[in-house]
Amino acid sequence: MKSTPKRILVTGGAGFLGSHLCERLLGMGHEVLCVDNYFTGRRANVAHLLNDPGFELMRHDVTMSLYVEVDEIYNLACPASPVHYQHDPVQTTKTSVHGAINMLGLAKRVGARILQASTSEVYGDPTIHPQTEDYWGNVNPIGFRSCYDEGKRCAETLFFDYHRQHDLEIKVARIFNTYGPRMHPQDGRVVSNFIMQALEGRPITVYGDGAQTRSFCFVSDLIDGLIALMNSADGFTGPVNLGNPAELTIRDLAEKVIARTGSRSELIFEPLPSDDPMQRQPDISLARKHLGWSPKVPLAEGLDATVAYFAQKWAKPVQGA
């Protein structure tokens, strides 16, 4: 059954996740206002949507107030990879904190339901495994990653205070590693790094000994989860983990990427970055219970789609191949 059409604001809408979300919401018959400052988002990610009469694109930074009329808000605006969020850490914190304040203020003024794209990084380097939503985390408040980790933790605080103080309808999603087409090729994330290195025949850089673990969710599954959370009833606010609980080591991922690309790349090992978590795996019991959601796309299928995107859009041919 088709949902009642709404006017929906997506901040960070020209980014990796945002562009897929805008596309899906338009397909559901909604009007979409996509807002992005293009720090990490790209106009090319939403170029195919520009001729849709229900789509509007606005260049705007969420650290500045925004006055629009909308029914729902997905707040996705914030650089999400270490390379980008450490480039200007003060601005990263401002985006999470001032951006949350501005979007919550907008939601309060217009009576909109609002969803915060939080992160598994609120758990820091976890001391429990897998991570459940009632775990408070093990986060370094003054490290190189703190601008992102603590910015997102503060945003969650603001969301729940607006909920308690102003009875605002909120939803909070803690997003675990997500991958797929439209990832930024220089975002420094492990999937994009490995695929680009493999396609170009360069050595694949593994940090540490590669024994650290991650769980990778394909973008279409993640978008399903965000929409299910926004539309969830019974006063369910979250926070709720959205990610794929299938865990594998970074070295295993590197070997899978080499196999999927047919690359001759060899692995090289570099020191582990500061505060890099050793384990990351979501417990998605709450998402299954309240949203009826769990990921469906197998890693092999998702990697093939992602490799095809990078091969077509970004990778340089291997010399002498």
In this structure, are strands 204-207 and 217-218 parallel, antiparallel, or unpaired? unpaired
pLDDT in tens, the chain (321 residues): 456 899 999 999 999 999 999 999 999 999 999 999 998 899 999 999 999 999 999 999 999 999 999 999 999 998 775 666 677 889 899 999 999 999 999 999 999 999 999 999 999 988 988 999 999 999 989 988 888 899 999 999 999 999 999 999 999 999 999 999 999 887 778 999 999 999 999 999 998 899 998 999 999 999 999 999 999 988 999 999 999 999 999 999 999 999 999 999 999 999 887 767 778 889 999 999 999 999 999 999 999 999 999 999 876 655 444
d(CA 138, CA 126): 6
* Structural contact between residues 50 and 27, judged by C-beta atoms closer than 8 angstroms: no
pLDDT of residue 272: 81
Q: For 7-180+217-245+281-296, which CATH class?
A: alpha beta
Q: What pLDDT does 82 receive? A: 67
Q: Which residues are annotated as catalytic?
A: 148
The per-residue pLDDT for 303 is 96
With vertex at residue 38, the alpha carbon angle to CA 31 and CA 71, rounded to the nearest 5 degrees, is 25
Identify the pLDDT of residue 320: 44
3-state secondary structure of 302: helix
Where are the chain's structural domains? 7-180+217-245+281-296
- Report the candidate in 148, 88, 116 with the shortest Cα–Cα distance to residue 277: 148
What pLDDT score does 4 carry?
86
- Write the single-letter amino acid at 154: C
- Is the overall model pTM greater than 0.85, yes or no? yes
Radius of gyration in angstroms for the set of CA atoms belonging to the chain, rounded to a whole number: 19
What's residue 61's pLDDT?
96
